[in-house]
């Protein structure tokens, strides 16, 4: 096993002995969204290649930096770049950082990504709060929790019907309204495919019929492992393109377009995120009541 409890513990202790930060919130920055980590104070950066047992980023715009820092008075850790199944990594490698965060004392994980809009009401540039997901690779056995279950992380058969915290979603909706962003902040179902190709029209139609509002190539394994080990999860997906459901449409998606849109919207997402992090204690209060 390449990502055993002992491997996780070793990496966690390696990091804890090199930083004074003790983050309670972790953020995974999706494609083109590295900016989310830029405004932190008291910043400390580790390169993925220097961290024992970590993988390296191979996708353009996924910088490969683990950034510790404060947002207001909250200590956070940011992944500038994530690992994807299509890069050739096993799902245990893809989700390894999530367990490190758990062992470091993180309580809430915020996963962000770029995705294609299937819901016909969505516009390019919308922010979709993920309310649920479809684990398509999981149906075919590509699942991060397959294999022996280590009870020190979580139970064998975790419940996923409440993977995305209702309270956290509500807080983001409230913040979006206060910031005047309500007309482009939505809620929806994210579907993961393995990639690396974008969808055929027939595939896109199928995913839409199955109830997916957007489609991407990440997030679901991280969320599954996060829920398994008891982290609270918030998922935010930036709709970077409309997925064609119609043979007469001529649009052709590419990674550069995805990056262009996500970089354009990253500042807004950052505003939502920073306000959310500053106020996350409000949800802690709700939960402890």
Ligand X SMILES: O=P(O)(O)O[C@@H]1C[C@H](O)[C@@H](CO)O1
The partner in contact with residue 84, picked from ligand GUN, ligand X, none with C-beta cut-offs of 5 to 8 angstroms by kind, is ligand X
Q: Decide: 93 and 55 in contact? Cβ < 8 Å.
A: yes
HSE-CB for 73 with a 13 A CA cutoff: 3
Q: Please check whether residue 257 is in contact with residue 266, taking contact to mean a CB–CB distance below 8 angstroms.
A: no
41 included as an active-site residue: no
Looking at 165, 176, 212, 218, which residue is catalytic? 218
Query: Which position among 21, 24, 84, 242 is part of the footprint of ligand X (CB under 6 A)?
Result: 84
Which one of residues 82, 99, 133, 232 is an interface residue with ligand X (CB under 6 A)?
82
> How does 214-229 read in b/e, with b if 16+ C-beta sit within 10 Å?
bbbbbbbbbbbbbbbb
Q: Is 202 an annotated catalytic residue?
A: no
Among ligand GUN, ligand X, none, partner that 158 touches (CB below 5 to 8 angstroms by kind): none
Of 150 and 203, the one with the shorter C-beta distance to ligand GUN is 203
82 is in an annotated binding site: yes
- Least Cβ distance, residue 217 to ligand GUN (angstroms): 5
Burial class (CB in 10 A: 0-12, 13-18, 19+), 122: buried
Look up residue 241 and give its two tokens: 């393109």
Exposed / middle / buried, residue 89 (Cβ in 10 Å: 0-12, 13-18, 19+): middle
Residues 186-215 that bind ligand GUN (CB under 6 A): 193, 195, 198-199, 215
Residues 240-269 contacting ligand X, CB under 6 A: 255, 258
Near ligand GUN in 126-145, by CB under 6 A: none
Tokens of residue 264, six digits: 């354009």
Catalytic residue from among 84, 133, 208, 228: 84
Feature table: binding site for a purine D-ribonucleoside: 199, 241
Q: Which positions touch ligand X (CB under 6 A)?
A: 30-31, 59, 82, 84, 113-114, 195, 216-218, 255, 258
């Amino acid at each position: 096993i390449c990502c055993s409890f002992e491997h996780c513990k070793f990496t966690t202790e390696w990091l804890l002995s090199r930083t004074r930060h003790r983050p309670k919130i972790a953020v995974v920055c999706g494609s083109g969204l590295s900016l989310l980590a830029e405004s932190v104070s008291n910043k400390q950066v580790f390169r993925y290649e220097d961290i024992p047992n970590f993988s390296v980023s191979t996708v353009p715009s996924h910088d490969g930096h683990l950034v510790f820092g404060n947002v207001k008075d909250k200590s956070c850790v940011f992944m500038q770049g994530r690992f994807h199944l299509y890069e050739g990594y096993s799902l245990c490698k893809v989700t390894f950082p999530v367990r490190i965060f758990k062992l470091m004392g993180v309580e809430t994980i915020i996963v962000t990504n770029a995705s294609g809009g299937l819901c016909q009401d969505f516009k390019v540039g919308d922010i979709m709060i993920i309310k649920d997901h479809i684990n398509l690779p999981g149906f075919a056995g590509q699942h991060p929790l397959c294999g022996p279950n280590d009870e020190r992380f979580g139970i064998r058969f975790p419940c996923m019907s409440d993977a995305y915290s209702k309270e956290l979603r509500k807080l983001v909706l409230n913040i979006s309204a206060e910031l005047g962003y309500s007309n482009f902040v939505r809620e929806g179902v994210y579907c993961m495919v393995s990639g690396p190709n974008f969808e055929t029209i027939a595939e896109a139609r199928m995913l839409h019929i199955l109830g997916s509002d957007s489609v991407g190539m990440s997030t679901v394994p991280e969320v599954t492992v996060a829920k398994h080990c008891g982290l609270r999860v918030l998922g935010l997906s930036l709709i970077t393109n409309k997925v064609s459901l119609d043979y007469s449409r001529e649009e052709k998606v590419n990674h550069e377009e995805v990056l262009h849109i996500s970089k354009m919207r990253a500042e807004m997402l950052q505003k939502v995120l920073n306000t959310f992090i500053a106020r996350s204690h409000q949800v802690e209060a709700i939960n402890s009541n």
